[in-house]
Amino acid sequence: MDFSLSEEEQSVRDWVRTFVRKEIQPLEQEVLRRERANQPGLTHDVLVELQDKAKASGFWGVQTPEEYGGMGLGAVMSALLEAELGRSFVQFRFGGYADNILYYANDEQKQRYLLPTLSGERRSCFAITEPGAGSDARAIRTSARQDGTDWIINGEKTFITGGNEADFTMVFAVTDKEKGANGGVTCFLVDRDQGWRSEYIDTMGEWGPAALVFEDVRVPKENILGEVGRGFELAMKWIGRGRYMLPARALGACERLVEMAVEHANTRVTFGEPIANRQAIQWMIADSAVEIEALRWLVLHAAWVVDQGGDSRHVQSIAKLYGGQKANEIVDRVLQIHGGMGYTRELPVERWYRELRLLRIYEGTDEIQRRTIARNILKGHASISGTLG
């Protein structure tokens, strides 16, 4: 068992680490200022400028297959890079990304949707959640009925990330009520100018998701992604595309937060001594260090199983659940160590506190991850002894 990084992995990781320190972290104060004025922290132009800088050094399409010009990096390498990006709350992502299910598009759809998304000309959003169907995604009610060779979509989606900015959506609609999620849901690629509208949803974080409204939106059959009735499988593929990436980002955030806590603990003096000398503070640092170490290996192990081509759902659920829980406990401790300053908007701790809360909700809540993990263990699909069992 070799836990060390190869030279190549180390140099790729180090490049991103330097990029984050030199190019992204210096933007943090400005991003905070803008967000607090209810503006997007990172404007699209600045994001594109950063992406172009990264691209000049070959960092483009990190997980995009090489045949599309991407780097085609594996899951372990991608998780390492995501953890580095997580060391800043600035919502930077490398250019050259497209949702995994867009690769199921036919040639003509690839020209219209996949390639322009990779090049950054077009923006997508993934829309399955509805006011009446979140964890229970099989209960969606948005419908599409056939009219000649067209389909007419009606319904409402909610909490759609990027829904305000997207110019097309991958929307999931019931095309056969009898079959429902078992062969009766279809995915449609729908341009905004085909008639759907979005409404901003105010949240406690800076995510700004949208509600999407479809009222008699007519699309030709050419807009069906994949096959009629096979949409639910596509949705599950999208959700399962890399659950380890969310806790990977949280891992980076936790590392940076604890570094901030250590610096504060060493310099903040109360009753004549730095608070770092107090056992109460030391235990918070120690518990956080242990949990960060555990999270690191859960994330990397899940990514490794993905790279091996094995069934990674169980280990990904474990990493996502643990990451969400522990990141929230850690940010709470870091806020506590900073005292009143931690609660102010002068420091980014409260910014992370709000953002990390989301990790326990989206892409499968804590409870849904527990349900998956318990089912796997109880039904014997996964061993309590893990990969080595």
Ligand X SMILES: Cc1cc2nc3c(=O)[nH]c(=O)nc-3n(C[C@H](O)[C@H](O)[C@H](O)COP(=O)(O)OP(=O)(O)OC[C@H]3O[C@@H](n4cnc5c(N)ncnc54)[C@H](O)[C@@H]3O)c2cc1C
* Least Cβ distance, residue 259 to ligand X (angstroms): 27
* Least Cβ distance, residue 205 to ligand X (angstroms): 7
Site residues for ligand X, 103-162, by CB under 6 A, read 126-129, 134-136, 159-161
Q: Nearest 10 degrees: CA dihedral of 355, 359, 360, 361?
A: 90
Q: Which residue is nearest to ligand X (CB)?
A: 134
Q: Which two tokens stand for residue 273?
A: 């001594």
Any idea what DSSP says for residue 204? S
Q: How far apart are CA 48 and CA 52, in angstroms?
A: 6
Number of residues that bind ligand X (CB under 6 A): 21
39 binds ligand X (CB under 6 A): no
Partners of residue 188 on adjacent β-strands: 171, 224
Per-residue binder mask for ligand X (CB under 6 A), 364-383, x = binder:
-x-xx--x------------
Site residues for ligand X, 53-112, by CB under 6 A, read none
CB closer to ligand X, 343 vs 362: 362
Q: How far apart are CA 295 and CA 119, in angstroms?
A: 33
CB closer to ligand X, 201 vs 228: 201
CB closer to ligand X, 25 vs 365: 365
Q: How far apart are CA 73 and CA 306, in angstroms?
A: 12
Q: How far apart are CA 331 and CA 353, in angstroms?
A: 6
Any idea what DSSP says for residue 190? E
End-to-end CA distance of the chain: 15
Stretch that binds ligand X, among 105-113, 245-253, 289-297, 358-366 (CB under 6 A): 358-366
Q: Which two tokens stand for residue 54?
A: 């990264």
260 binds ligand X (CB under 6 A): no
CB closer to ligand X, 203 vs 266: 203
* Least Cβ distance, residue 177 to ligand X (angstroms): 20
231 binds ligand X (CB under 6 A): no
Could you tell me if 198 and 211 are in contact, meaning their C-beta atoms sit under 8 angstroms apart?
yes
Can 293 be counted among the known catalytic residues? no
Member of 29, 119, 203, 267 binding ligand X (CB under 6 A): 203
Ramachandran angles phi, psi of 50, nearest 5°: -65, -40
Catalytic residue among 273, 293, 363, 367: 363
CB closer to ligand X, 43 vs 203: 203
Give the 3-state secondary structure percentages of the chain, helix then strand then coil, rounded to 5.
50, 15, 35
Per-residue binder mask for ligand X (CB under 6 A), 315-334, x = binder:
--------------------
Q: Nearest 10 degrees: CA dihedral of 366, 367, 370, 374?
A: 180
CB closer to ligand X, 278 vs 357: 357
Strands 168-174 and 124-127, by their bridges, are: parallel
Q: How far apart are CA 73 and CA 140, in angstroms?
A: 34
Residue ranges in contact with ligand X by CB under 6 A: 126-129, 134-136, 159-161, 203, 207, 209, 358, 361-363, 365, 367-368, 371
Indicate which residues carry an active-site annotation: 363
